[in-house]
Structure formats: structure tokens, C-alpha cells
Chains A and B, each alone.
Chain A
Amino acid sequence: MFERTKNLNLSVIKQMEIRAHKYPDMISLAQGVPNFDTPSCIKRRVELALQKGVVAKYSLSPGLAELRELIEITLAKDHMFYDWEKEIIVTAGSIEGITATILAIANPGDEIIIPEPTYTSYREVIILAGCVPVFVPLDEENGWAFDCKKFAAAITPKTKAIFYCNPNNPTGTIYSREQLMELAKLAETHDLFLISDEVYKDFLFEEGQHIFSLAEVAKYRKRVIRLFSFSKSYAMTGWRVGYVHTDESVAQEIIKVHDALVTCAPVISQYAAMGALEMGESDVRMMNQAYKRRRDVICAHLDDLSHIFSYVRPESSYYVFPKILCDVPHHASDVHNDSVSWRFALWMLEQTQVVMVPGVAFGPNGEDHVRFSFGRSTKDINIAFARIKKFFEK
């Protein structure tokens, strides 16, 4: 019974939220949810689609033609050239795109390399597909960068893909062109796919910043499968819409799985995605400015707590992933007693009612860390850290 699911875990983030639920004054810096509402221009686009009566039916499996055209045009602005008819698939959030991708490219028993710490759900999807996640640690001393030698050492005849998140959740790292090109060369040598989850690619805090993607490099287009979600950039986590794009030879296999899983992405959300691409640019800029301010606020708080935390300043996304420097008391009754990051997160929840995610959720290399999200308002961040500071002043 339950052979397929017995090794899956409920997300640690959800576990923390469930535990936090009984604390009436809790403040959650755990979930990666923007505190903004979906921009009004997007909602207006959806209202119009509803009025016209165009949302009730399935779309084509890869998505509405007009949305895919818009996606092609948007990608071209970032030097990524893909055919909307055959190479772009609109998905029900990026996680559905990830699931369809792994089911399409990998066979049970194949290994997929994940640099970690990284997004918690990758492991679960890989296991669900009957594959084996192989964790390769990122280098905290070097700003959570890739170390390609470690990737090379992890490759076996069973390795099918390297799957990374750029900018990375939970560290907020942007991988450099040089690091990514080195990774691509490795993938070419060993005939591997590169799955690039770029849901935070719009989180640009510096003027004129551009996040390089391997999907820009024509010679790697048959290897690189790139995913994007509207959830984070446009405050649309509840709409469940994103897209995947890759060379036709791969996309036409992914679409078979996508069709079997969901038939098509929710059509109403596809109209919302059109609104986002047509009119959401200024809202993205506004939200980025707010996230940048919040990043600075949360980093200032962490600086004040330098005896408790050390951290690498995030370059993107809305997460910071500090290392725990203090001694953490044992909590004999808890099943997570062996993990420092779990113990710290539960300790803080109990003592300060501030919710954070134990770093071990993001892979073994995330142990001894916690993740704070600055997707929440500055007010919430300030209250949460005031409580933590007060607790450690005692």
C-alpha cells in the first residue's frame, strides 16, 4: 500500500504553518507568499474575459495561442528565442511544469542532481517520479555559489539531469554566467538535461541588472528546460499559472505528460497571465522596490543579531537564509530533536511566536540555518524581529 507516496513528506513549510496555527499572535515569515494582492490591471483583464464568456472552455493543451505569442515576445526581450506554437507550454504553476518535465525526460531509477539548499518540493517531485535526488552542496563561503567539481563527482551513468533554481530559493543567490556556462559544459560532456527554475528572475534589486539564463544560449537549447511562474513576480500565487519552454524535440514530449496531468492550465488564469504580460510591468517594478527595501530592513535586523546569525546578503528573491550561531536547547519530546534548524525554528515559535522554516527542509546542507521570507510587510518583519531581539536580550 502507498508504495509511491510512502517516501514523500509533507512540505516542512506546511508543517511549520500547521504548528504555528495554534499561536494566536504568530507572525509568519515562513511561506514564500507576496503580501501584495494581484495587480488591478490583471484583475480587470480577467473581469473582461469573464464578461465575454471566454473562460468556461478548455484551451488548447499548450495554452491560449495569444498568451503563448505574448510569452514568445517576452522571452525574446531577454534574448531567449522559442517558437510559441511548438516550444512553449502554459502550465498550472511551475510545479506542474516541473512534474511534467521530470516525468517526460527521466525513467524510474534515474538520478537527478540538485544543488542544495534549494526549494523543498524538488525532492518530492523527483521521488514521485520514481527517480533519485542526488544532493550537491552549494558553497556558503563563496556566497552559495556552484562548485562544478562537486557536480562532476556526483555524476553517474544513471544521472539524467541537473535541476537548479536561479535565483535560488532559499539563499537568494544569482548564479553567474561563468558558473552556469561551466555547468552547461559539464551537462554537454555527460549528455544531461539542465532544468532551470527561474520563478524569481524578475526580482531585480539593482538598476540595469539582468539575470543570465542558459536558455539564451542557442547551442544548449535542446538541453535546457526553463520554467517560469507568474506566482511570485505578479503576486499571483493562487492563480496557478506558469510556463515551460525548451526545444521542440523536448517540449513535444513534455506536452504529452502535461495533457495527461491537467489537460490545460486554468483558462481564467491564462487570461490573468496575459494581463500580467501586457500591463503588469510597472507593478513588478513597484513590488521589486518594496522587496528591496524589505531586504535592507531584514538584513539590518540580522546585523543587529550578529551574535545569533551570520548570513549571505540575498541578491534576489525574497528570502534570506542565515546560519544559526547560538546554542539551541534540546526539546526532548519533539521528533525533530536531532536537527538544530528544526529545534531553533520550534524554539522561536514557542518563545516569540515568529514562524520561520528550518533550513534542513532545503536539503542536508541547509542544516544549521533558517529561512526568513521578506514577502511579508515591513511592519510584520519589524514586529517579528523586535520579538526575536527581545527574547535574546533576556
Chain B
Amino acid sequence: MMRVLCKIILQYYLKVITKIVLFVHHPMIIVIAGSVNKTFVRDEVKRVLHTREYRVRSNPKNFNTEIGLPLAILNIESGYNSYKRWVPAICAAMRAVFQKDFPECLVLELGVAKKGDMRYLLSLVSPHITIITDITQRYIESFSGMDRLVNEYAYLVKKTPQNGKVILNWDNERVRALQDVATAPVTFFGFAVENMGEHGKIEEISKDSNGINVSMCYKGEKKNIHIPRFGTHHAVAFLVGWIVLTEINNVRTK
């Protein structure tokens, strides 16, 4: 009982501080949601923004839920299950309001495990760019069907403003269908994307002992790259990073 009460108070405190911090510093917010591969996309987006010398902050580990997300934004350590370890974290939260050189961009994973999670997370952050990687039956146990689970992501897409950007996985039928609820312009990525000119397409992947060789195109430009990692998700992450880098100025200037 005590633990539950403490969690509610902590959650409320972190929410208030986070909203103040975002109001004061108003960073560009890029959110990544989906059942799998969020972390790989997050890390790639962060990497490409760093290459353009943006000051970027992203979730450490899997800090992507009602407590973890504020911690990520405020850049403070979790106290996990220790009351003692939460004390310095709570004090550090307040200091984030006055932080100099607050990041220009926040690249944040959003984790959805039960109904209403997305609504709560979006009461904390308002995304400028939304990326949805995939939707599978992961966490389906907490929802009364796939439609309810998809509704969480639909809410995120709807809440992305008209002058923002929504980036969706074409290859997943459920994700693709979210374009119908978007008010912001939509860009797709994937292997089977149609209308290559406008969207990002992975044309070919081959593997060697050092990683994968990927051929991809976006907005008429073609890239052949070598990624020193294994798995198609790294190709997808690279493509999404490319799209974000191309689109970020359009979103920022509006």
C-alpha cells in the first residue's frame, strides 16, 4: 500500500517537473513507438542528429514508461526499488528546470503495455515527429484485442500536430493503416513501399562477415551503405534516421 502511494506521488511530482522543464526549454521532440526495434531506431536517430551537431538526449536503457520517461527527459537516475536511492533523484529533478544547454532534441521511446499508457505519456510530451516501428501481439494480454492495442498507437499519430511529421512502417498492415488518422504529413519506410519518390525504401540487403550491405532510396536519392551490424532492423533504423535528418528542418521551421 505504502509502495503504491509513494509511486503515485512520485509519478505526479515527476510529471509536473517534466512539464515545467519542457515548457521552459521547448526542445524538438521525436518519439518512437512500436512493439519491437524501438531502441535500434532511437539510437540511430540520436546518432545521425549528433553528426549534425544537435544536442540530443534519449532514454537510457528502457526508460519509456510513466516513471521512466520523465527520468529520461530530466536525465536523472532511477532509484528502482530503493526509497533511499530516490531521494537524490527527486532533488536532481528540480535542477533540470534551470539546466543550461538543455538538449535541442529529445529522442524518446514510448512504451505501451496497457490501455491508457499512450494517453498518459502524451500528457507529458507533445511530439513533433512520430515514428512507429512495428505493431505485433506483444502486450496483447493487457488489451481486449488487437484493435484496442492499435488504438494506443492511433492516438499518438492523431496527436502529432499538422506541422509535424509521422513516419510509419509500410510493411506492417496495421501500422500502414494509421495514415488514415494522421493530420501530419506521413512518410513511409520499408521493403515493399510503393511510390518510391516520396517514401523510404530498402531495395536490397546482403550479408558478409562484417555486417550487412544495404541499398536504399529516399526522395529520389539512392544510398549503398555498409552497416557493421547484423539483422534487417539495422537497415530499417538507418533508413528512418535518414528520413528524420531530411525532415527535421521542415518541421523545425514551421
Which A residues are within 8 Å of any B CB, using their own CB?
40-41, 44, 52-54, 65-66, 69-70, 72-73, 76, 81-87, 218-219, 221-222, 248, 278-279
Contact = CB atoms under 8 A, between A and B. Distances in A.
Interface residues of B, number: 25
A293 to B, nearest CB: 23
Task: Identify whether the interface residues of B are mostly helix, strand, loop, or mixed.
Answer: loop
Contacts of A83: 229-231, 233
A40 B81 contact: yes
Contacts of A222: 209
A52 B142 contact: yes
A41 B85 CA distance: 13
In the complex, the 10 A-B pairs of residues with the closest C-beta atoms, listed nearest first: A83-B231, A83-B230, A218-B210, A218-B209, A41-B80, A81-B229, A54-B141, A65-B36, A219-B209, A53-B141
B39 A69 contact: yes
Given A65-B136, A65-B138, A221-B209, A44 B36 contact: no
A81 B39 contact: no
Given A40-B81, A73-B39, A85-B231, A278 B61 contact: yes
Contacts of A81: 211, 228-230
Interface in B129-176: 136, 138-139, 141-142
Nearest to B208: A218
Contacts of B232: 85
B81 A44 contact: yes
Contacts, number: 55
Contacts of A279: 80
B250 interface: no
Given A52-B141, A83-B233, A87-B230, 6 more contacts: A66-B138, A70-B62, A83-B230, A83-B231, A87-B231, A218-B211
Given A44-B81, A278-B62, A52 B113 contact: yes
B183 interface: no
Provide the main secondary structure of the chain A interface.
helix
A221 B142 CA distance: 39
B126 interface: no
Contacts of A70: 62
B75 interface: no
Nearest to A217: B209
A41 B81 contact: yes
Given A40-B81, A41-B80, A84 B141 contact: no
A85 B232 CA distance: 9
Contacts of B113: 52
B37 interface: yes
Contacts of A84: 231, 233
Contacts of A85: 231-233
Residue among B114, B228, B229, B230 with max Cβ neighbours from chain A (10 Å): B230
